[in-house]
């Protein structure tokens, strides 16, 4: 397939896939503005200031177009800051030899390292406290400090000339004849509209694309199951030597039985369970050392069947997540050497959502393509992250983990171009992929790279006057290379 004809190919939707479209069940996608004022005129509107949205905004602004970035919270970084998710998964090839996710992701890492707020991934190896002692797929992670990340992102976004609006939420898309023309926003001073030539949905859940009428699948396309959610927490005052000694004395006991991973501290969980003091679905504790040796990120609460498109469901999950964090703290104090005096530094201000909507685009990335190391001709990034699917098996604690044998795989531009709606791109977790494939590319380094690609594509569409579906890949390819994106 040549590069000019790939847009004629539309990723065939797998038989039996349940495709949803909000526009099909209501008339939400053609909105009457009423008396909502047009307050913001821009070239590119980026909705969502998480890892993907930040990179999209910076990349577009560096190409000289006007960019408005809106974020419902009060800081940039999404799951990396508000969600306390850490560390960044790998940005290296599968052999652990070459850094393959560079570009704006690489700059963010370098600037955090310079401020003492991250450890460079080339110095972080699998099977250590930095990787929760996990070996497979966990080489060259990036431990970072979420407070330093907030200021680095503020600086980089401001330096690039992006206009940011915090405390501003997407309400409705403005769609005319199948084309995005902007969005209605909820600001602190009420409703306002933004007119934009291209809109990028970086909301994580695909709120914008779904509301505009792009088809989507929620959860797994075959089973409808959604991966469990997790409320992260960070703890400090941990005795590094003591916890390492306990885990390292039991490393030979790491195992997987019926899909359930028995990894760090499962022997302590067993003691707590025997005493009736463990009521969390996970059977071990995913605990990652941070930049400082006494500060650790804990990825261990587990809440099933959370629908991130419903406020009721998110609210219940956050309340249950905080309950589980308290249970974890009691567990640390009573059962874990090195954590007897640990202090809860913070629990995340928002529940961590692994999966919700997968927007259906010109190509639906499949896990098989990733596992085969397929590099489509319109690739906008290369990555090697493993397919990591939680809770899909017989118990909520089960995980399916598949590593790739090739050095890397490619993510095609077509997975950022939603079906049916023009002048819209998606980036980050909601990109067009099957549930399993999303289990690999949802992690932060590739999410940032999809954002950078979407931002570059949006800026080129503005300057060339073409719709994203018609963008010439050769043009995009050159612009990606010029922004230090590694494409092999």
CB of 5 to ligand FAD, least distance (A): 30
Comparing CB distances to ligand FAD, the nearer of 51 and 412 is 51
Comparing CB distances to ligand FAD, the nearer of 384 and 477 is 384
Comparing CB distances to ligand FAD, the nearer of 7 and 68 is 68
3-state class (DSSP) for residue 414: helix
Spatial CB neighbours of 185, under 8 Å, sequence gap ≥ 6: 40, 70, 165, 168, 169, 170, 171, 191, 192, 193, 194
CB of 8 to ligand FAD, least distance (A): 28
CB of 256 to ligand FAD, least distance (A): 19
CB burial of residue 323 (10 Å; 0-12, 13-18, 19+): middle
CB of 351 to ligand FAD, least distance (A): 8
What is the spatial distance between Cα 302 and Cα 283, in angstroms, rounded to a whole number? 11
Comparing CB distances to ligand FAD, the nearer of 7 and 220 is 220
**Interface residues with ligand FAD (CB under 6 A)?**
47-53, 70-73, 78-80, 85, 87-89, 169-170, 202-204, 207, 230, 299, 352-354, 428-429, 442-444, 447
CB of 279 to ligand FAD, least distance (A): 19
Spatial CB neighbours of 98, under 8 Å, sequence gap ≥ 6: 92
Comparing CB distances to ligand FAD, the nearer of 49 and 468 is 49
CB of 2 to ligand FAD, least distance (A): 31
Comparing CB distances to ligand FAD, the nearer of 226 and 477 is 226
What is the spatial distance between Cα 108 and Cα 53, in angstroms, rounded to a whole number? 14
CB of 371 to ligand FAD, least distance (A): 19
- The string of DSSP codes covering 115-169 is TTSB--GGG--TTSGGGTT--TT-SS-B-B-HHHHHHHHHHHHHHTT-EEESS-E
What is the spatial distance between Cα 115 and Cα 67, in angstroms, rounded to a whole number? 27
Comparing CB distances to ligand FAD, the nearer of 89 and 460 is 89
Rg (Cα) of the chain, in Å, rounded?
22
């Amino acid at each position: 397939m040549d590069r000019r004809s790939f847009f004629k190919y539309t990723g065939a939707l797998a038989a039996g896939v349940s495709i949803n479209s909000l526009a099909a069940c209501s008339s939400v996608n053609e909105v009457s503005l009423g008396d909502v004022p047009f307050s913001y005129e821009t070239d590119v509107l980026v909705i969502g200031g998480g890892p993907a949205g930040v990179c999209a905004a910076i990349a577009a602004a560096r190409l000289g177009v006007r960019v408005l970035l809106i974020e419902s919270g009060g800081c940039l970084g999404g799951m990396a800051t508000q969600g306390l998710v850490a560390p960044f998964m790998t940005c290296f090839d599968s052999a652990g030899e070459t850094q393959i996710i560079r570009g704006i992701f690489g700059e963010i890492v370098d600037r955090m390292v310079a401020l003492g707020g991250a450890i460079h991934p080339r110095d972080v190896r699998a099977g250590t406290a930095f990787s929760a002692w996990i070996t497979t797929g966990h080489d060259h992670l990036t431990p970072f400090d979420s407070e330093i990340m907030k200021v680095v992102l503020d600086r980089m976004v401001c330096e690039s000339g992006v206009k940011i609006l915090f405390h501003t939420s997407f309400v409705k898309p403005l769609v005319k004849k199948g084309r995005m023309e902007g969005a209605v926003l909820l600001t602190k001073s009420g409703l306002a509209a933004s007119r934009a030539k291209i809109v990028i949905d970086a909301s994580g859940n695909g709120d914008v694309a779904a509301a505009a009428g792009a088809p989507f699948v929620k959860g797994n396309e075959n089973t409808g199951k959604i991966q469990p959610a997790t409320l992260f927490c960070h703890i400090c005052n941990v005795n590094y030597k003591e916890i390492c000694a306990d885990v390292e004395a039991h490393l030979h006991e790491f195992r997987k039985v019926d899909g359930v991973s028995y990894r760090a501290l499962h022997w302590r969980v067993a003691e707590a369970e025997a005493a009736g003091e463990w009521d969390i679905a996970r059977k071990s504790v995913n605990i990652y050392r941070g930049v400082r040796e006494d500060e650790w990120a804990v990825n261990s609460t587990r809440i099933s069947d959370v629908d991130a498109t419903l406020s009721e469901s998110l609210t219940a999950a956050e309340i249950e997540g905080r309950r589980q964090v308290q249970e974890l703290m009691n567990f640390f104090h009573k059962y874990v050497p090195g954590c007897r005096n640990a202090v809860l530094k913070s629990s995340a201000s928002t529940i961590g959502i692994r999966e919700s909507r997968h927007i259906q685009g010109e190509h639906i990335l499949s896990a098989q393509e990733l596992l085969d190391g397929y590099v489509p001709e319109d690739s906008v990034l290369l990555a090697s992250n493993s397919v990591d699917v939680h809770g899909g098996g017989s118990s909520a604690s089960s995980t399916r983990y598949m590593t790739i044998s090739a050095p890397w795989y490619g993510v095609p531009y077509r997975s950022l171009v939603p079906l049916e709606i023009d002048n819209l791109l998606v980036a980050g977790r909601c990109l067009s992929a099957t549930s399993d494939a999303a289990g690999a590319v949802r992690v932060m380094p590739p999410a940032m790279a999809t954002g950078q690609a979407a931002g570059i594509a949006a800026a080129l569409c503005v300057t060339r006057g073409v719709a994203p579906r018609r963008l010439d890949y050769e043009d995009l390819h050159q612009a990606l290379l010029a922004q230090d994106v590694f494409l092999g």
